Amino acid sequence: MPSPTLQAASDHYLHLVADSRSENTHRTYAQAMRKFIAVLKKHSVHADVASPAGANPDWLGWYVTALKPYSPATESLFLIALVGFYEYLAAEENAPINLTQVRSFLKRRQRKVTPRLPQFPREKIEAVISYVNSMGSAPAEDGRERLRRLRDRAFVFTLADTGLRISEACRLTRGQLDWDEGRAIVTIKGERESVVRFSERALSAIKAYLGARAELDGATGRALASLPIFARHDDGAGKKVLRLNTVGAREIVNRAVAGALGEEAKGMITPHSFRHYFVTVVLRASGGNLKLAQELARHKNITITQRYAHLSDEDLYRDYHDIFNNS
């Protein structure tokens, strides 16, 4: 049955996105739809009354105009979400929408996104890695704090040495990890399956963490293979083994950044910064082998990997001055 209102259609669309896409994607799409509904309201189209069948090109024009204060990158993400909603309306709500016209309109009106070089402070990331490593072996006040420290070390090592996105790392289960081969089969961005390789230090940190968590895992009554690698250890989780979510994962990074660099450094390094770090480490160690970096970072397009080559040039610049100016 078609949804009776545009708001109900939007809610159902976002529910489908939540079921099929990552937490980050769902969050972005939800923001895009809230903005869309707010724009319609300003033009006297009320989503809790309007029918999905009433969707028309004017709505697109209003939305594109309202997104002008946003960056081109944000505009692009929000418009992708909106196109998905129009596709949903046509397929699921039987709305009379000309999708070719919709895509053509947005292609003409949308601003071009200029690729930006990823910015991150490599030395500071390495300071954060050193900090979580030291905290992982430091004395803890109680068992829960010890688990948190071991988990945080294993999580940061995993981000830095695999290039996994935060949501991908959070979804890892014990059954996915092949200890003998040091790898896991992971569903990555775009719902693609890919092989992810783990460093020895990441595997060692994960093993130490799971070893300390053995009693909790054994008490669940669930198959060990189904349990998350990274679990929550807060008051809300108690003695349950609940999967670490992206909010908690960001807090791990924020806590590590504050501990290593001070409170004022929060926000300078994000979970995704470790993915940038991973790619540049591969490029530096491989002599700029873009194909290798693309495969290990699981970039669908090598042009994305090429952006990181410029960051590696900064190391060449420093090495040059070390040779010629500090002798």
Residue that terminates a domain, selected from 239, 254, 272: 272
In a domain, 82, yes or no: yes
Which ranges of the chain does DSSP label H, i.e. alpha helix?
6-20, 23-42, 57-66, 72-92, 99-109, 122-136, 143-162, 166-170, 200-212, 214-218, 246-261, 273-285, 290-297, 302-324
Rounded to two decimals, the pTM is 0.63
Residue 258 CB burial class (10 angstroms; 0-12, 13-18, ≥19): middle
Whether residue 99 sits in one domain with residue 130:
no
Print the domain residue range for 134. Answer: 122-272
pLDDT at 15 over 80: yes
Q: What is the mean pLDDT of residues 21-26?
A: 80
Whether residue 99 sits in one domain with residue 44:
yes
In a domain, 279, yes or no: no
Write the single-letter amino acid at 85: F
How high is the mean pLDDT of the chain? Answer: 83
Whether residue 99 sits in one domain with residue 127:
no
d(CA 185, CA 168): 11
Confidence band of 190 (pLDDT split at 50, 70, 90): low
In a domain, 324, yes or no: no
pLDDT at 284 over 80: no
User: What pLDDT shows up at residue 131?
Assistant: 94
Percent of the chain with pLDDT over 90: 37
User: For 107-121, 132-146, 168-182, 205-219, which range has the lowest pLDDT when averaged over its residues?
Assistant: 107-121
